[in-house]
Amino acid sequence: MRSRPGAVALAVLLAACGGRGAAPPTATPSRSIVTPAVTPTGVMGSSIWLAIFRTSSDPADLNPGTRTLLERVDGAIRVSPVLCFSGLPGAMAPSDYVMGVAARTKDELDRLIVRSGFRAILETRVRELCID
């Protein structure tokens, strides 16, 4: 039986997006934190506004900013693999992680950016492919 490339790609994508806000196991698990996150849309594949503050190939590098962000925006936070979003610029490596905030509207996103105290390196509309 032949496997369909689309089905294989979807399985890989879903495996990569296993959980927003939780870094995958690393060699130093004590460096990773779990960030509770609430999906603003609640539907896989929903269109959202995303502001990205930092990116890294190692999610543990995002922990200090994540802690600060949690205190300021709580459930709007996103610490996720790039593969969890459709519509990001192609310059981002598929293996990278992003730290940012998500909102249903641009106005809401602007308010979250101000509350965060971070400078966004990217603000864009994307489809969120991973949900809790």
Would you say the pTM of this structure is higher than 0.85? no
Q: Are 99 and 59 in contact (CB under 8 A)?
A: no
The per-residue pLDDT for range 48-96, each reduced to its tens digit, is 999 999 999 999 999 999 999 999 998 899 999 999 999 998 888 999 9
Q: Are 129 and 94 in contact (CB under 8 A)?
A: no
CATH number of the structural domain spanning residue 67:
3.30.70.1070
Helix (H, G, I), strand (E, B) or coil at 117: coil
Instruction: Supply φ then ψ for residue 55, to 5 degrees.
Output: -135, 155
Residue 56 tokens, joined = 């890294």
The per-residue pLDDT for range 40-50, each reduced to its tens digit, is 445 567 899 99
- For 46, the domain range is 5-20+32-128
Number of structural domains (the chain) is 1
25 domain-assigned: no
